[in-house]
A and B are shown apart, each in its own frame.
Chain A
Amino acid sequence: MIVEQLRITGQEEIAPRIYRMTLEGDSVQTMTEPGQFVHVKVSDGIDPLLRRPISICDVSQDKQELTIIYRAEGRGTRLLAAKKTDDTLDVLGPLGQGFPLDSLQKGSTALLVGGGVGIPPLYYLAKKLVKRGVNVRTILGFRQSEDIFLQKEFRELGDIIVTTEDGSKGVHGFVTDAMNQAEKPYDSFFTCGPVPMLRAVKAAAASDGFISLEERMGCGVGACLACVCEASDATSQEGKKYRKICSDGPVFRAGEVVI
C-alpha cells in the first residue's frame, strides 16, 4: 500500500460522461486483487480536499498499467475528466479487501451482476476468474442503450446479457429481470452497483455470493470510521455493529452485512 504519482497514459470518454483512464507506475505491481480500489487525489491543492475512491477496473502487469472507469459526476470526478495524457495523478492504493477467487473451483460457474459505475471492478474479476478456469456469465444493467460500456470486453470472457431500463437494448428492465429469465445454475454470484440493485440481486440469487459496497469516505485506510455499513452478525450495546467499507470491504459476503 503506497502513495504514488502515476502517469496518465490515456483518457477517453467511452459513453456519455463515462471515462476510461489508464495510468502507469510501479505501484500497479501490487494491484493484483480484483474488487480493490484506489483513493485518488483530484486536485493539487486543498479544494476539493478529499480523495475519491475509484475501483480497479483492469491491470496489465506487462505494461504496469492500471485502468479505471468512472462517471464524471461532481466536482472531483469532473476535474479528473479534465486531466490529459502525461499528467500525473496522486494515487493511494490498492486499498480494501477484494473478491475472493478461491471460493470457486475450476469448471464452476460465476454469475457477475453489475449496474452503472458498479460494473468496472467486475471486469478485472471476470478476467481473473476465466484465468482460473471458472465459467463467467455476466449481466450488466444500464439506463438506456447510449450508456452501455464494456459490453464487448465482457463478451470475450463469457456469456453476457445486457439490460436497459427503457428497453432500448437487450432485456427490458432491471438486472434481476435477466436473472429470473436465465435459469442456468451458477455456483456463486458477485455484484456491484447501487444499493437497491444489490438488495434485489441478493434476494433473487440462487446461491451464496459477494457484494461490493460504496460509502462516503475520509481516510480510505480504516482510521476515521466514516465509511461504515451495518454488520448482520454481532450486536453491540446499542444493537448495531459496523464494518468499515474501506478496509473490511468494499467486498463482503452477501450475508455479512445489512443492505
Chain B
Amino acid sequence: MINMNRELPGLSMKNPVMPASGCFGFGQEYARFYDLNKLGAITVKAVTAEERAGNPVPRVAETESGMLNAIGLQNPGLEHVLQHELPWLEQYDIPVIVNVAGNTMEDYIYVSETVSRVKNVSALELNISCPNVKVGGIQFGSDPAIAAELTKKVKAVSQVPVYVKLSPNVTDIVEMAKAVEEAGADGLSMINTLLGMKIDINTGKPVIANRTGGLSGPAIKPVAVRMIYQVSQAVDIPIIGMGGIHTADDILEFLMAGASAVAIGTANFVNPFACPELISSLETRMAELGIDDVESIVGRSWKTCSSVSLSSR
C-alpha cells in the first residue's frame, strides 16, 4: 500500500497534487471533466478586494515548450468570490487554498482577513509574485524586507495558515524565502512565472499586449527544481512546488528537490484530465520504483548528498 497522504499546515491531503492558481479558475470548469474530490487540494485564482478587468488581449503566447501569459489578475472581486465561488466549493471535501493579491498592503490584509474567516478555506497563498501587474513602485515580490512586512501583517490577521508564493524573478531566492519564513510564513509556494517576451517578427512588436508576460510550462522546470533544491535546504517550512510539471516523473523530481507537495498549472490546458491522471500515474511510478511513502523522498536529492558527504568525512 503506497502512502500518498500529505500533512502540511492547514492542508490534510490524500495525495500531493493540486492545481496551481490561475490555471483552474475556481474549479467549476474542470468539475465538468472529473470529480474534484480526487485532488489533494485546490488553489483558486487570485482574489483582489475589488473586481479586476485584467489586461488587454492578446494575453497569451506560445513559446518553445512553454507559454507566456499576462492575464493581469482578472477576477470577479472579493465579494463575488465570497458569495458564489467559495460556497460552490463547499460540496467538495478537499482543502481550499485562496490565492490573494493586491496593490497595497491594506488590500492584502483586508482580503486575507476576510477570506481566512470563510469556513471552507484551509489556507491562504499570498501572491507577491505576479509579474503582470504594475503596483505603484512597491515590489512585494522582490524586496525581502517588504515581503517580510507583508507576511507579518497578514499572519497577524489570518485565521488559517499562510503560504507565500515566491517569484523566481529575483537575484537571491533563498534570501526571500528566509525573510518570509522569519516573518511567520507557514509554507512557501514556488515558483511563479518567469518574466519573458515574444516578438512577432512580422510586426516587429511583442505578441502580448502587455508586452511582457510570465513564462510557464516545461520550459521553466529546471529553474523551479533548482530553486526548490536551494530553498528547501535553507528553510524549515514546507514547499508547494510548481513550474512545468507534466509527468509523474516530474512530480518525483520536485519532491526529491525538496517540495512537500506539488501544483499543476499549464498542464491543465494541454490535458484537462492532467491532475487526476498525474495522481494515478504517480502511484504507479512509485510502485515501480519501490517508493512506498511520498514523505520518504521529500528532499532526497540533498538529504542523500549530505549523508554521503557526512559518511565520507
Expressed in whole angstroms, the Cα–Cα distance for A47 and B51 within the complex equals 35
With A222-B25, A236-B52 given, is the CB distance from A51 to B59 under 8 Å? no
Across the interface, name the chain B residue whose C-beta is closest to A220.
B269
**A224 an interface residue at 8 Å Cβ cutoff?**
yes
Across the interface, name the chain A residue whose C-beta is closest to B66.
A49
Expressed in whole angstroms, the Cα–Cα distance for A1 and B33 within the complex equals 8
Interface residues of B (CB under 8 A from A): 22-25, 29-30, 32-33, 45, 50-54, 57-62, 64-67, 69, 71, 74, 217-218, 246, 266, 268-273
**Which residues does chain B contribute within 8 Å of A46, judged by CB atoms?**
65, 217-218, 246, 270
Which of A51, A215, A227 contacts B270 (CB under 8 A)?
Answer: A51
**A156 an interface residue at 8 Å Cβ cutoff?**
no
Expressed in whole angstroms, the Cα–Cα distance for A49 and B271 within the complex equals 10
Q: Are B53 and A238 in contact (CB under 8 A)?
A: yes
**A145 an interface residue at 8 Å Cβ cutoff?**
no
Q: Are B57 and A240 in contact (CB under 8 A)?
A: no
Q: Are A219 and B272 in contact (CB under 8 A)?
A: yes
Expressed in whole angstroms, the Cα–Cα distance for A200 and B45 within the complex equals 37
Across the interface, name the chain A residue whose C-beta is closest to B208.
A216
**Beyond A49-B217, A219-B23, 20 extra complex contacts between A and B, CB < 8 Å:** A1-B32, A46-B246, A49-B67, A50-B60, A92-B272, A215-B57, A216-B57, A216-B58, A218-B269, A221-B272, A223-B30, A224-B25, A226-B59, A227-B59, A228-B74, A236-B51, A242-B53, A242-B54, A242-B74, A247-B29
**A41 an interface residue at 8 Å Cβ cutoff?**
yes
Expressed in whole angstroms, the Cα–Cα distance for A160 and B128 within the complex equals 57
**Which residues does chain B contribute within 8 Å of A223, judged by CB atoms?**
23-25, 29-30, 268-269
**Which residues does chain A contribute within 8 Å of B24, judged by CB atoms?**
223
**Which residues does chain A contribute within 8 Å of B32, judged by CB atoms?**
1, 221
**Which residues does chain A contribute within 8 Å of B271, judged by CB atoms?**
3
Could you show 22 A-B contacts with beta carbons less than 8 Å apart?
A46-B217, A46-B246, A46-B270, A49-B62, A49-B217, A50-B269, A51-B270, A216-B58, A218-B67, A218-B266, A218-B269, A219-B272, A220-B269, A223-B30, A224-B25, A224-B71, A225-B45, A225-B71, A226-B60, A228-B74, A236-B51, A237-B52
Q: Are B269 and A225 in contact (CB under 8 A)?
A: no
Q: Are B51 and A218 in contact (CB under 8 A)?
A: no
**A229 an interface residue at 8 Å Cβ cutoff?**
yes
Q: Are B269 and A47 in contact (CB under 8 A)?
A: no
**Which residues does chain B contribute within 8 Å of A49, judged by CB atoms?**
62, 65-67, 217-218, 266, 270
**Which residues does chain B contribute within 8 Å of A227, judged by CB atoms?**
57, 59
Q: Are A222 and B29 in contact (CB under 8 A)?
A: yes
**Which residues does chain A contribute within 8 Å of B66, judged by CB atoms?**
49
Most buried by B among A49, A219, A242, A247: A49
**Which residues does chain A contribute within 8 Å of B53, judged by CB atoms?**
236-242
**A217 an interface residue at 8 Å Cβ cutoff?**
yes
**A48 an interface residue at 8 Å Cβ cutoff?**
yes
**Which residues does chain B contribute within 8 Å of A47, judged by CB atoms?**
64-65
Q: Are A218 and B272 in contact (CB under 8 A)?
A: no
Expressed in whole angstroms, the Cα–Cα distance for A121 and B217 within the complex equals 31
Across the interface, name the chain A residue whose C-beta is closest to B30.
A223
**Which residues does chain A contribute within 8 Å of B64, judged by CB atoms?**
47
Q: Are B51 and A229 in contact (CB under 8 A)?
A: no
